[in-house]
Amino acid sequence: MNTKWPRRWPLSEIEQRQCARFGSSSMCNRRPPADSRRTAPSTAFPQQPLCNLTKWRCPSCWPSNSGSPTAPRGWSEIKSAADYLIGYNQGGVTAPASGQERWEEQSGYSPSTLAAEIAGLVCAADIAGINSDSTSQSRYLAKADEWASKVKTWTATTTGAYSKLPYFIRLSKGGDPNSGSTFDIGNGGGHVDPRNVVDAGFLELVRLGIMSPNDATIVNTLRVVDRRIARTINKLTYFYRYTKDGYGESADGSPWSTSGGTRGRLWPLLSGERGEYALLAGHSGAPQLAAMAAAATSTYLIPEQVWDSSAPAGTGGRAPGSPSASATPLGWSHAQFIRLAWGISNGSPVEYPRVVACHFLHRCAK
């Protein structure tokens, strides 16, 4: 069982799936969960000592996606959260950089976090308009546009070793994706050149309606990702979190340790995210859904990670693609499976903020 702390990022993913399931019911319009609220003037959301700015998008996007013509409840909280996001400054890190990215390991400029921030501000602007706050509406849209115009400048390298064309990296520490200054990747992985570390978090820019699935840098980064962090097992494709990930068991199958010598394996939920991209690109998400289903245990529990090769001796001898000793079940994995399945049935991803896609891509159909 997964006995880890209730991190807000996975919980926000689960809550979004519930919102997709229940449409414009009370699930979408309810106030943010109790553990995401704080009475402090900062309107910061507790998680751990560090701060993950992806949390601010959720309460901002839900009401805007619910289709309610009336002013949503909690506008003052949404306004406070959006204001806090724009003015974020902690430990020398200022927005849109954040103290953590989606994997809760690094500070800097991350494509996935930028996507969440930008989408959240556009949604907050829409809600501001509903509440006749034109000043906030203009402020949020202006900041969202500013950040969106700089996403590639901050996070797409043009001097990386993986391609002569621009591609998104996992993150840049100071907003310069062409800097060769190394950083400690964590989990015993040592110091690395950020240009050589890629993940699939950039797909959030597509899923949240900020960039087209056919954007040249998006498409090129997909090629890089497929060469560097994708693995095919039984004709099904899985992905590592990022290049040189050390969060997983050791080579002999013993548990993860802070002393190093461990490596991350394949995460089924990332196949689900790729499936949602496929839907937006006009393809089927069925192969990715099949990959997630194949990763489940005999009792239908989807794990955090699956083995990328045969399990080490003494660990049960499980085959590639079977659950590793990672957290099982992982709620985030199940939530992603539900969202992809629902999206396939719906014909498009169910969490695609139309107000964001309308603003950036002029896709305004209901």
Give yes or no: 101 in active site.
Answer: yes
Give the count of alpha carbons within 13 A of 17, CB side only.
Answer: 19
The answer, yes or no, to whether the previous bond of 96 is cis (omega within 30 of 0) is yes
Residue 162 identity: Y
Phi and psi at residue 28, to the nearest 5°: -75, -35
Which is catalytic among the residues 101, 117, 204, 249? 101
Q: Which of 13, 15, 77, 104 is catalytic?
A: 104
Rg (alpha carbons) of the chain, rounded to whole number: 20
Active site residue 304: no
Q: What is the 3-state secondary structure (H, E, C) of the chain?
A: CCCCCCCHHHHHHHHHHHHHHHCCCHHHHCCCCHHHCCCCCCCCCCCCCCCEHHHHHHHHHHHHHCCCCCCCCCHHHHHHHHHHHHCCEECCEECCCECECCCCCCCEECHHHHHHHHHHHHHHHHHHHHCCCHHHHHHHHHHHHHHHHHHHHHHEECCCCCCCCCEECCCECCCCCCCCCCEECCCCCCEECHHHCCECHHHHHHHCCCCCCCCHHHHHHHHHHHHHCEEEECCEEEEECECCCCCCCECCCCCCCCCCCECCCEEHHHHHHHHHHHHHCCCCCHHHHHHHHHCCCCCCCCCCCECCCCCCCCCCCCCCCCECCCCCCCHHHHHHHHHHHHHHHHCCCCCCCHHHHHHHHCCCCC
Catalytic residues: 101, 104
